[in-house]
Chain A
Amino acid sequence: MLRALSRLSTSGFRSVARTRTGYSAPLASRCYSHGKVETEEEFDSRWVTYFSKPDIDAWELRKGMNTLIGYDLVPEPKILDSALRACRRLNDLASAIRILEAVKDKAGPHKEIYPYVIQELKPTLTELGISTPEELGID
Chain B
Amino acid sequence: MLRLTSSRLGSLLAGRPTAALTFSIKGRAASQQSHEVSEALDMSRPMYYDRVDMPLPDKPYKDVLSEAEQKLKQKEKGPWSQLTNEEKVALYRLKFCQSYSEMRAPSAEWKTVLGGVLFFLGFTGLVVWWQRIYVYPPRPRTLEDDWKAMQLQRMLDMRINPVEGLSAKWDYDKGQWK
Interface residues of A (CB under 8 A from B): 61-62, 65-66, 69-70, 88, 91-95, 97-99, 101-102, 104-105, 128-131, 133, 135-139
Some 8 contacts from A to B, beta carbons below 8 A apart, are A61-B56, A66-B54, A69-B55, A94-B60, A97-B88, A129-B80, A129-B83, A136-B89
Contact B77 A91 (CB under 8 A): yes
Secondary structure at chain A's binding surface: helix, strand, loop or mixed? helix
Contact A94 B85 (CB under 8 A): no
Contact A101 B99 (CB under 8 A): yes
* Closest CB in chain B relative to A118 CB, distance in Å: 15
Contact B91 A93 (CB under 8 A): yes
CA distance A133 to B2 in the complex (A): 37
Given contacts A65-B55, A66-B55, A138-B89, contact A94 B99 (CB under 8 A): no
* Closest CB in chain A relative to B85 CB, distance in Å: 6
Residue of B nearest to A97 (CB): B92
Given contacts A91-B76, A91-B77, A128-B80, contact A69 B54 (CB under 8 A): yes
Contact B77 A129 (CB under 8 A): no
Report the 8 A-B pairs with minimum CB-CB distance, sorted nearest first. A129-B81, A129-B80, A94-B95, A102-B55, A62-B56, A101-B100, A138-B99, A66-B54
Contact B99 A133 (CB under 8 A): yes
Interface residues of B (CB under 8 A from A): 52-58, 60, 76-77, 79-83, 85, 88-89, 91-92, 94-96, 99-101, 104
* Closest CB in chain B relative to A87 CB, distance in Å: 10
CA distance A137 to B90 in the complex (A): 12
* Closest CB in chain B relative to A62 CB, distance in Å: 4
CA distance A94 to B91 in the complex (A): 6
CA distance A98 to B91 in the complex (A): 11
Q: Which residues of A contact B54 (CB under 8 A)?
A: 66, 69-70
CA distance A92 to B91 in the complex (A): 9
Residue of A nearest to B94 (CB): A94
Contact A98 B55 (CB under 8 A): yes
* Closest CB in chain B relative to A89 CB, distance in Å: 11
Contact A94 B92 (CB under 8 A): yes
Given contacts A93-B76, A94-B96, contact A105 B83 (CB under 8 A): no
Looking at the complex, which one of B56, B81, B101 makes contact with A95 (CB distance below 8 Å)? Answer: B56
Looking at the complex, which one of A92, A93, A138 makes contact with B101 (CB distance below 8 Å)? Answer: A138
Given contacts A101-B99, A105-B104, A129-B79, contact A136 B56 (CB under 8 A): no
Residue of A nearest to B52 (CB): A105
Q: Which residues of A contact B56 (CB under 8 A)?
A: 61-62, 65-66, 95, 98-99
